[in-house]
Amino acid sequence: MLESELFGHERGAFTGATLQRIGKFEQCNRGTIFLDEIGDMTPATQTKILRVLQSGTFERVGGNQPIKVDVRVIAATNKPLEQAVAAKQFREDLFYRLNVVRIHIPPLRERREDIPLLVNYFLKKVGHEQRRPPKSVATNVIKALEKFHWPGNVRELENAIRRAHVMAKGDAILLSDLPPEITGQSPGAFGAAATAPGETAATDTSALARQLFQWARRDPKLKVIPAIERELVIQALKETNNNQVHAAKLLGITRATLRKRIEKFGIQREMKIE
């Protein structure tokens, strides 16, 4: 019951109200309260909120004693309230009471540059909840997230990251860990590719080796193995945002070995690794 949540209730106010409850407005006295999705509130709740904004008083559900509060209200909605007012679905007087300082936050699809920052935030949040180090994210994962249109906005992005965190088998989130509606792949597409390492993967590796040997024949100075080794180290560091522990796991080597390769190939100066 939203009114009980916001304004509290007296003992016996309704079935199950065995104790008096202090509501959010009373708890936030001399502070700030955030009202999310205010456009979905019932007319009765809108009336009570209007009264609090106008007089600074309210009664608990089932009570008749006015309670005085001094609260700053921040409200949010994903609905066009002007249209709701015109349709008589939202109180006009409450709309103008709330519409003092308006901040328009564009949908996520209109500010894709925020996606990498939000992804890192959600990964740290999930890691903190599970008391584990946050997982890293492959570069192609970020690109896929930036291309998606996000009809569910930031909440959908958070849910996608939580799902990927669960699906990831290692310390890095890969493209195959994302929901299929984001990658545009069928649920079994990545798995199908992974089930035939003796065919597709071997063929691709052989083709790459032949191409490298062709380059080596054209350029006698090219040392194939060191060149490949250096590029693998660089790409692993890029895929894991320079996290050496995660990069070492991707490469299948120890962190000490990775550090030696970084120093050997001069990658430390190139990528500004500390």
Q: What's the CA dihedral at 38, 39, 40, 41 to 10 degrees?
A: 60
**Predicted local distance difference test score (pLDDT) of residue 72:** 95
Reported pTM: 0.55
Contacts of 46 (CB under 8 A, 6+ apart): 90, 91, 94
- Asked if residue 39 lies in contact with residue 81, where contact means CB atoms within 8 angstroms, the answer is yes
Distance of CA 253 to the CA centre of its chain: 31
Query: Rounded distance, CA 84 to CA 236, Å?
Result: 51
The answer to whether residue 70 scores a pLDDT higher than 50 is yes
Distance of CA 233 to the CA centre of its chain: 28
With bands split at pLDDT 50, 70 and 90, how would you rate the model's confidence at 235? confident
Among residues 44, 2, 7, the alpha carbon closest in space to that of 25 is found at: 7
With bands split at pLDDT 50, 70 and 90, how would you rate the model's confidence at 210? low
**Predicted local distance difference test score (pLDDT) of residue 269:** 58
Contacts of 77 (CB under 8 A, 6+ apart): 37, 38, 39, 40
Query: Rounded distance, CA 130 to CA 143, Å?
Result: 26
**Predicted local distance difference test score (pLDDT) of residue 271:** 55
67-68 and 172-173 strand pairing: unpaired
Q: How confident is the prediction for the chain on average, in pLDDT?
A: 84
- Asked if residue 258 lies in contact with residue 247, where contact means CB atoms within 8 angstroms, the answer is yes
The answer to whether residue 214 scores a pLDDT higher than 90 is no
Mean pLDDT, rounded, for 201-221 = 63
Among residues 274, 236, 239, 246, the alpha carbon closest in space to that of 133 is found at: 246
Count CB neighbours of 28 within 10 A. 17
Mean pLDDT, rounded, for 160-167 = 89
Q: 183 — phi, psi (to 5°)?
A: -80, -20
Query: Rounded distance, CA 177 to CA 175, Å?
Result: 5
Cα atoms in the Cβ-side hemisphere of radius 13 Å centred on 187: 1
With bands split at pLDDT 50, 70 and 90, how would you rate the model's confidence at 200? very low
Query: Rounded distance, CA 189 to CA 61, Å?
Result: 55
Among residues 35, 29, 7, the alpha carbon closest in space to that of 20 is found at: 7
Mean pLDDT, rounded, for 252-265 = 86
172-173 and 57-58 strand pairing: unpaired
Q: 201 — phi, psi (to 5°)?
A: -65, -45
The answer to whether residue 196 scores a pLDDT higher than 50 is no
Query: What does R_g of the chain's alpha carbons equal in angstroms?
Result: 28
Report which of residues 213 and 188 the model is more confident about: 213
The answer to whether residue 49 scores a pLDDT higher than 90 is yes
**Predicted local distance difference test score (pLDDT) of residue 270:** 55
